[in-house]
């Protein structure tokens, strides 16, 4: 039998012993840790591209797997497996990771599980620095797997899959606290979003000037969930961050779907009004309702439970949902008056709605769905005139650390509000919506 070459040992999974015939060759078997194993690493592993380690000699087959949906549920299911344990096991895991030969094709590894573990460690970091930058770079390299496909003309189904994967990556970046990168990636998706919408003529509406716009109510209630998700995030981020919307929307008809309402707590009808205000502030050329009509729509809106004649039991989920939705009524009213009419926070209508929001917030103490009050707290904080109100907003926002509902965490908004309260709004002075945008842009530029 011919003596083995080192390359053959590597390909066959053997430990290379050179040319000593008196020692047997040992087959290497990799034992995978069970899914329930708790892992902690204090240092980022070597970067991987396309699921493989970099191989200067070109012996690695760099295959890019078909884009898959990361999914919020997948992310949180797998992050929950990552826990802090002893440093000895962490060192063993790092040693095992470094020992894998560069010639072994690693594309079969579960990239999503690997990325989820990295995300869990990244999210748990306390001191940003070199290690943090390594994790950011790792996520960026994972994103590059989809860059080529996004720039090519793909079949409709593949284009949808690629778009959805990039959307999930953008959401992941928000979850990891890199809101600027997440928002930038959402903007990159705009051209592909328009191409996907163009494949369904029912999602377009012609304007009086002959231009086409994306139908907001039809897209939000369509079965193309990836498109509905993007416009919902577009509306919410434009509202909370004061950024111009990425898409030109048309607002014929009303929204019939309630999927977004069940997930985020905001009724679709009120979400459409917020989107109209965003478009108005951005100088949109589409037909928009006047602020008086929008105000009447807000006053006339009724929650679904009320139209069905259901009664609410205090402390029940239905009761808390009704509290959140009633709070949205006053959030939207404040946005109409300050966002379109340009009134200051001292306007009596504004202060009346602020008082109602604080009263409703009292009913949501220790509620498990309290995170849905984050936008309420931001808007109430903008218009809050009294110091005790501002303190309550600040403390409440500091408790909202879960970004799953709104992509952003409460402390991120506290930075903008703190700047607003100690500059234009110092001493309880009146502020405008533009004052808030300038404060946000100072501490959290996009």
Tens digit of pLDDT for each residue in 14-60? Answer: 555 554 444 444 444 444 444 444 434 334 333 333 333 333 344 33
Q: Are 445 and 313 in the same domain?
A: yes
Residue 37 or residue 215, greater confidence: 215
pLDDT at 134: 67
**Interval 292-344: pLDDT, tens:** 999 999 999 988 766 555 667 777 888 888 899 999 999 999 999 999 999 99
Assess if residue 122 is contained within a domain.
Answer: yes
Q: Are 347 and 441 in the same domain?
A: yes
Give me the mean pLDDT over the 370-385 stretch: 95
Q: Which of 265-269, 338-342, 381-385 has the lowest mean pLDDT?
A: 265-269
pLDDT at 9: 60
**Interval 152-176: pLDDT, tens:** 677 777 888 889 988 988 888 888 7
Residues 6+ apart with CB under 8 A from 22: none
Does the structure show a pLDDT above 70 at 270?
A: yes
- Domain tally for the chain? 3
Q: Are 348 and 366 in the same domain?
A: yes
Does the structure show a pLDDT above 80 at 375?
A: yes
Report residue 391's pLDDT band, with 50, 70 and 90 as the boundaries: very high
Q: Are 20 and 75 in the same domain?
A: no
* CB 337 within 8 Å of CB 347: yes
Q: Are 75 and 6 in the same domain?
A: no
Residue 9 or residue 119, greater confidence: 9
Q: Are 10 and 109 in the same domain?
A: no
Residue 16 or residue 389, greater confidence: 389
**End position of a domain, from candidates 150, 181, 207:** 150
**End position of a domain, from candidates 91, 117, 150:** 150
Mode of pairing for the β-strands spanning 52-53 and 48-49: antiparallel
Assess if residue 136 is contained within a domain.
Answer: yes
Give me the mean pLDDT over the 404-433 stretch: 94
Give me the mean pLDDT over the 260-286 stretch: 88
Report residue 101's pLDDT band, with 50, 70 and 90 as the boundaries: very low
CA distances from 52 to 16, 33, 238 (A): 22, 20, 38
Assess if residue 387 is contained within a domain.
Answer: yes
Burial class (CB in 10 A: 0-12, 13-18, 19+), 385: middle
Residue 82 or residue 376, greater confidence: 376
pLDDT at 44: 36
**Interval 223-251: pLDDT, tens:** 889 999 999 999 999 999 999 999 999 99
Q: Are 403 and 352 in the same domain?
A: yes
Q: Are 12 and 140 in the same domain?
A: no
Assess if residue 361 is contained within a domain.
Answer: yes
Does the structure show a pLDDT above 90 at 197?
A: yes
Q: Are 419 and 347 in the same domain?
A: yes
Report residue 75's pLDDT band, with 50, 70 and 90 as the boundaries: very low
Q: What is the mean pLDDT of the chain?
A: 76
Q: Are 397 and 429 in the same domain?
A: yes
pLDDT at 130: 55
Assess if residue 264 is contained within a domain.
Answer: no
pLDDT at 99: 47
* CB 277 within 8 Å of CB 339: yes
Distance CA 408, CA 174 (A): 7
Assess if residue 233 is contained within a domain.
Answer: no
**End position of a domain, from candidates 116, 150, 184:** 150
Assess if residue 260 is contained within a domain.
Answer: no
Q: Are 17 and 74 in the same domain?
A: no
Beta-bridge partners for 149: none
Q: Are 372 and 317 in the same domain?
A: yes
Give me the mean pLDDT over the 187-209 stretch: 91
In terms of residue numbers, what domain contains 4? 1-27
Assess if residue 347 is contained within a domain.
Answer: yes
Residue 368 or residue 444, greater confidence: 444
């Amino acid at each position: 039998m011919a003596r083995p070459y080192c390359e053959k040992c590597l390909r066959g999974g053997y430990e290379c012993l050179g040319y000593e015939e008196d020692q047997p060759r040992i087959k290497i078997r990799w034992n995978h840790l069970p899914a329930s194993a708790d892992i902690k690493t204090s240092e980022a592993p070597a970067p991987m591209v396309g699921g493989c380690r970099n191989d200067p000699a070109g012996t690695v087959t760099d295959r890019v797997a078909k884009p898959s949906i990361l999914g919020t549920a997948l992310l949180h299911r797998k992050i929950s497996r990552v826990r802090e344990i002893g440093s000895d096991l962490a060192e063993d895991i790092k040693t095992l990771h470094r020992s894998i030969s560069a010639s072994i094709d690693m594309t079969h590894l579960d990239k999503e599980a690997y990325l989820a573990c990295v995300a869990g460690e990244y999210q748990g970091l306390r001191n940003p620095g070199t290690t943090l930058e390594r994790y950011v770079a790792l996520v960026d390299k994972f994103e590059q797997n989809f860059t080529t496909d996004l720039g090519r003309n793909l079949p409709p189904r593949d284009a949808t899959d690629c778009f959805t994967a990039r959307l999930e990556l953008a959401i992941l970046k928000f979850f990891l606290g890199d809101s600027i990168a997440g928002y930038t990636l959402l903007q990159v998706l705009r051209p592909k979003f328009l191409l996907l919408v163009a494949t369904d003529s029912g999602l377009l509406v012609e304007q009086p000037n002959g231009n086409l716009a994306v139908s907001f109510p039809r897209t939000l209630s369509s079965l193309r969930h990836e498109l509905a998700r993007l416009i919902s995030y577009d509306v919410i981020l434009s509202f909370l961050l004061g950024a111009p919307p990425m898409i030109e929307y048309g607002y014929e008809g009303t929204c019939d779907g309630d999927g977004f309402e069940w997930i985020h707590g905001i009724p679709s009808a009120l979400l459409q009004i917020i989107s109209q205000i965003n478009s108005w502030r951005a100088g949109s050329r589409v037909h928009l309702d006047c602020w008086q009509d929008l105000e009447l729509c807000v006053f006339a809106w009724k929650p679904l439970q009320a139209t069905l004649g259901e009664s609410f039991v205090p402390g029940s989920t239905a009761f808390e949902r009704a509290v959140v939705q009633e709070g949205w009524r006053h959030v939207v009213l404040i946005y109409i008056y300050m966002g379109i009419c340009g009134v200051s926070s001292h306007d009596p209508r504004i202060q009346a709605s602020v008082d109602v929001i604080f009263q409703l917030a009292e009913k949501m103490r220790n509620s498990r769905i309290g995170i849905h009050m984050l936008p309420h707290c931001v808007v109430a904080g903008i218009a809050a005139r009294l110091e005790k109100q501002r303190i309550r907003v600040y403390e409440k926002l500091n408790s909202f650390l879960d970004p799953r509902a709104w992509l952003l965490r409460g402390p991120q908004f506290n930075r903008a509000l703190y700047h607003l309260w100690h500059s234009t709004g110092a001493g309880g002075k009146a502020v405008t919506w533009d004052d808030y945008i300038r404060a946000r842009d100072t501490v959290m530029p996009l």
